[in-house]
A and B are shown apart, each in its own frame.
Chain A
Amino acid sequence: MSTYAAPLKDMQFVIEELVGLADITAMPVCSEVTADLVEAVLGEAGKFAAEVLDPLNRIGDRQGAQLANGKVTPPAGFAAAYKQFTEAGWNSLSGPTDFGGQGLPHIVAMAVQEMWNSANMAFCLCPMLTSGVIEALKLRGSPEQKKLFMGKLVTGEWSGTMNLTEPQAGSDLSAVRTQARPEGDHFRIKGTKIFITWGEHDMSQNIVHLVLARTPDAPEGVKGISLFIVPKFALNADGSPGGRNDVKCVSIEHKMGIHASPTCVMAYGEGEGAIGYMIGAENRGLETMFIMMNHARLGVGLEGVALAERAYQHALDYARTRVQGRAIGQKSGDRVTIINHPDVRRMLLTMKSQVEAMRALAYTASAALDKAHHHPDEAERKRNQAYVDLLIPIVKGWCTEQSIDVASTGMQIHGGMGFIEETGAAQYLRDARITAIYEGTTGIQAADLVGRKIGYEKGATAAVVIAQMRATAKALAGHAHADIAAQHAAFVRAVDALAAATQWVVDTFPKDPNAVAAVSVPYLKLWGIVAGGWLMARAAGIASVKLAAGGDPEFCKTKIATARFYIEHILPQAPALAEEVTGGAASVLAMSDAQF
């Protein structure tokens, strides 16, 4: 059984060199965020993740959360770990400084969250949802609401949830039916929400539910949904938690993975209605949700990165210890550990190279989000916002789908024991599976990508990014390092494939959106693979410069070799995907319902 070790070197490399910490530190609000601070924060977080959260991951999976008499009990050790987590201040990492938060930029939060997720994703969902509520309050909360809720949410004394989904409203939130009736200074909420993560538990003193609901005269559809805060314990006049509000957990789901995280059916208003407070303007709830979605989707994409990393570490540990077979051509003598078999090495590299590419992409989006928020220059803010908007569905869709593949390969490396729960390899695969579903399925991400992010703006931002890729390709061509220069042709083919597919999407979208929708997921995957390759190629370039300047030789050489593997083994999928995108729509649409 492996223990988690935070990949500090790669995280720091990506943050400092690839994404460019200097650009972040240069922004006035982030001036404190120096490399040594980042190193100290990541180092301590890594320790906490490895020593406190990782050991609880199996227990959480085995025991799961339990519901009895309306009370949800998390697995043994979770409440104590939550207390330790919040007391150590980790919950407050990116919270606003005027409410006791540390105000660290998203890029630092990203790396730290990757660690929590690698160590124990089911646990991490609780603080992650809390930060979603903090984000909503930051965006649209009234000063009064901020005063009541923000401080406690930042410390983690109170936790948060997101209540969007209803039985008839999943991907399509315009179908939300939960009712909100005005009464004095508040509303009364009635309705049923399903699949609510950490909807009920006793780790925090109060739970602040963020709920989508409709006011009595609201118009149909997306333009009639408002956002409410509904505390589990109604607040006394002084803001302290008082009696139970009219909201309860009526059941929890039996799931494939993330067993420790209770997925609750929440009943609002079985009695007089749950007291709720409207946040932001009436009928503008979904708009707020969409702004928040950038954070949330990036966060789920990161879950993919984190689980893939953990699955890789687990498989690597097994491959180094499992003895099976002899080296090819050897008929006698010692048997070897399976890491010596070429095919096992290929599997390990498939995992490792994709994890690193996914991390590079997710952190790149995160840094762009920081710049979109904090850059002093308005044009830079706009440019970065467009960039991050394009990247979000790719990070969410690609990193989560790949994490399933990576965790599955991790199981494969374990042979028969991978399929047996004892080794723990299966848990990463089971846990990874949800990431491609919640917070918008891959299909929904792909629809967002081809529609809002490419189609409506005629590929303008995509063109900028593709031009940057071409600049990287140019730099590869004459590169002094032979291993890097040799990748030029394969990389150019991949960028050409992406450019051609993008052109097809831009041209086809206005006249035949169904055709575009039919191949949107392969198109999203194409983006992920090529953007990942682009960042790996850049990483190799940076590593070669560092190597020449006396940087850590083991790390730099490994990065160059890993990038080479990615370009030779993963990137060749790009031309095939482009072919599917540009030529595959008709066959999808040709089938009648009856033919299935």
Chain B
Amino acid sequence: MKVLVGVKRVVDPNVKVRVKADGSGVETANIKMAINPFCEIAVEQAVRMKEAGIVTEILVVTVGLPQCQETLRTAMAMGADRGILVETDVDVQPLAVAKVMKAIIAKENPQLVIMGKQAVDNDCNQTGQMVAALMGWPQATHISKVEPAGDHAEVTREVDGGLETLTIKLPAVVTADLRLNEPRYVTLPNIMKAKKKPLEVIKPDALGVDVTPRLTTLKVVEPAKRGSGVKLADVAELVNKLKNEAKVI
């Protein structure tokens, strides 16, 4: 079985993000970047399935700047076989990425697409769902377990009330949640090998996809600073404040 994994390059989760001076977004220049943690889990899952003999080939795909090649190399050092960078300097939105994925799926015919449930930069939680919709494939989001068997897969989803176990027909799109696995540390020999694995760079145009953003960001601001607290006399005063000042009850 061939698996396609979508990965995204984001600001390293350990870095404190800063809003750009002009409020157009967050600062990414000269900031440490990393593979999105949920995408890393997605790659790990594919690699484990390959090690278990279920998967024969892992293709990783990303959309973005030339520097995204590093993200693909990381995924290949983890164990992915080859990578495709769809290169653009447009700040792509979920629908554009989903369309790119659709075009690549059409060429590559994977049986399973694994993506992160969301990216930690903008928390959209949309791309996997959109890919499934565009393909007309089944989808299982927020999964903590996936076991392909023949033409279907058994998946466990993390839902509000607990865990939901489903059987989905393949091909399908699944998105990884935190508890799906714990990604491995990349080994040094695999970093060296990853350098020699095939990495293809193509432009969205070549796939016939228009990645122009459809949503406009008006302004990005830091969350308001928390003011200092006040001491209240009793519960009655608390209830009163919650009702009339905070207007939450």
Binding site for B on A (CB under 8 A): 5, 8, 32, 36-37, 39-41, 44, 47-48, 51-52, 84, 87-90, 92-93, 102, 552-555
Question: Once the chains bind, are B185 and A84 in contact (CB under 8 Å)?
Answer: yes
Query: B73 at interface (Cβ–Cβ under 8 A)?
Result: yes
- Choice from A8, A37, A87 contacting B191 with Cβ under 8 Å: A37
Q: Chain A contact residues: over half helix, strand or loop, or mixed? A: helix
Q: Which residues of A contact B185 (CB under 8 A)?
A: 44, 47-48, 51-52, 84, 88
Question: Once the chains bind, are A89 and B189 in contact (CB under 8 Å)?
Answer: yes
With known contacts A8-B32, A44-B77, A555-B30, A87–B187 Cβ distance under 8 A? yes
Question: Once the chains bind, are B191 and A92 in contact (CB under 8 Å)?
Answer: no
Which residue of the partner chain B has the closest CB to A52? B185
Question: Once the chains bind, are A44 and B186 in contact (CB under 8 Å)?
Answer: yes
Give the number of A-B contacts (CB < 8 Å).
51
With known contacts A552-B30, A555-B30, A102–B77 Cβ distance under 8 A? no
| A-B pairs, 8 with minimum CB distance | A89-B188, A552-B30, A89-B187, A88-B187, A89-B189, A44-B186, A40-B191, A88-B185
A162 vs B192: C-alpha distance when bound (angstroms): 30
Question: Once the chains bind, are B14 and A102 in contact (CB under 8 Å)?
Answer: no
Least CB distance, B79 to chain A, in whole angstroms: 13
Least CB distance, B127 to chain A, in whole angstroms: 25
Q: Which residues of A contact B77 (CB under 8 A)?
A: 40, 44
Question: Once the chains bind, are A32 and B195 in contact (CB under 8 Å)?
Answer: yes
Least CB distance, B86 to chain A, in whole angstroms: 20
Binding site for A on B (CB under 8 A): 14, 29-30, 32, 70, 73-74, 77, 185-192, 194-195
A391 vs B135: C-alpha distance when bound (angstroms): 63
Least CB distance, A543 to chain B, in whole angstroms: 13
Question: Once the chains bind, are B70 and A39 in contact (CB under 8 Å)?
Answer: yes
Q: Which residues of B contact A51 (CB under 8 A)?
A: 185
Question: Once the chains bind, are B30 and A554 in contact (CB under 8 Å)?
Answer: yes
A51 vs B12: C-alpha distance when bound (angstroms): 14
Question: Once the chains bind, are B30 and A44 in contact (CB under 8 Å)?
Answer: no
Question: Once the chains bind, are A102 and B30 in contact (CB under 8 Å)?
Answer: no
Question: Once the chains bind, are B191 and A36 in contact (CB under 8 Å)?
Answer: no
Which residue of the partner chain A has the closest CB to B186? A44
Most buried by A among B185, B187, B191: B185
Question: Once the chains bind, are A5 and B14 in contact (CB under 8 Å)?
Answer: yes
With known contacts A36-B70, A37-B195, A102–B188 Cβ distance under 8 A? yes
Q: Which residues of B contact A553 (CB under 8 A)?
A: 30
Which residue of the partner chain A has the closest CB to B14? A5
A32 vs B193: C-alpha distance when bound (angstroms): 11
Least CB distance, A108 to chain B, in whole angstroms: 10
Q: Which residues of B contact A44 (CB under 8 A)?
A: 77, 185-186, 188, 191
Question: Once the chains bind, are A41 and B30 in contact (CB under 8 Å)?
Answer: no
A40 vs B34: C-alpha distance when bound (angstroms): 11
A-B contact pairs, 19 of them (CB 8 A): A32-B192, A32-B195, A37-B192, A40-B74, A40-B191, A40-B194, A44-B191, A48-B185, A51-B185, A84-B185, A87-B187, A88-B187, A89-B188, A90-B188, A93-B188, A102-B188, A102-B189, A552-B30, A553-B30
Least CB distance, A532 to chain B, in whole angstroms: 26
Which residue of the partner chain B has the closest CB to A47? B185
A48 vs B186: C-alpha distance when bound (angstroms): 9
A188 vs B133: C-alpha distance when bound (angstroms): 75
A553 vs B70: C-alpha distance when bound (angstroms): 22
Least CB distance, A292 to chain B, in whole angstroms: 23
